[in-house]
Amino acid sequence: MDIRHTMTGRRALSTVAITTGLLLTMVGCGSGGDDKPGASSPSAESTAKGGGQSKQSSTQAADNVLAEVKSGDITLTVTSAERDQGGFVTVSGTVTNNGGQFWIASNWRGDERELSRNGASLAGASLVDSKGKKKYLVLRDTQGRCLCTKFDGGGVNAGQSADWFAQFPAPPEGTTDVDFQVGAMPPASIQISEG
Please state the domain extents for the chain: 1-30, 54-194
Q: Which residue has the higher pLDDT, 164 or 12?
A: 164
* pLDDT of the residue at 9: 56
Residue in 108, 69, 99, 90 with CA at minimum distance from that of residue 161: 99
Least confident interval from 17-21, 29-33, 68-72, 176-180: 29-33
Phi, psi (rounded to 5 degrees) for 68:
-145, 125
Quick: pLDDT tens for 91-112: 999 999 999 999 888 778 766 6
Quick: pLDDT tens for 107-125: 787 666 666 667 788 888 9
**Mean per-residue pLDDT over the chain, rounded:** 75
* Range 27-33 average pLDDT: 45
Quick: pLDDT tens for 129-149: 999 899 999 998 888 888 998
The verdict on pTM exceeding 0.75 is no
* Range 35-42 average pLDDT: 41
- CB neighbour burial string for 111-150, b if at least 16 within 10 angstroms, e if fewer: eeeebeebebbbbbbbbbbeeeeeebbbbbeeeebbbbbb
* Range 61-77 average pLDDT: 86
Distance CA 167, CA 170 (A): 9
Fold topology of 54-194: Immunoglobulin-like (2.60.40)
Strands, E assignment, the chain: 67-71, 74-83, 88-97, 103-104, 126-129, 134-137, 155-156, 161-169, 177-181, 188-191, 193-194
* pLDDT of the residue at 47: 33
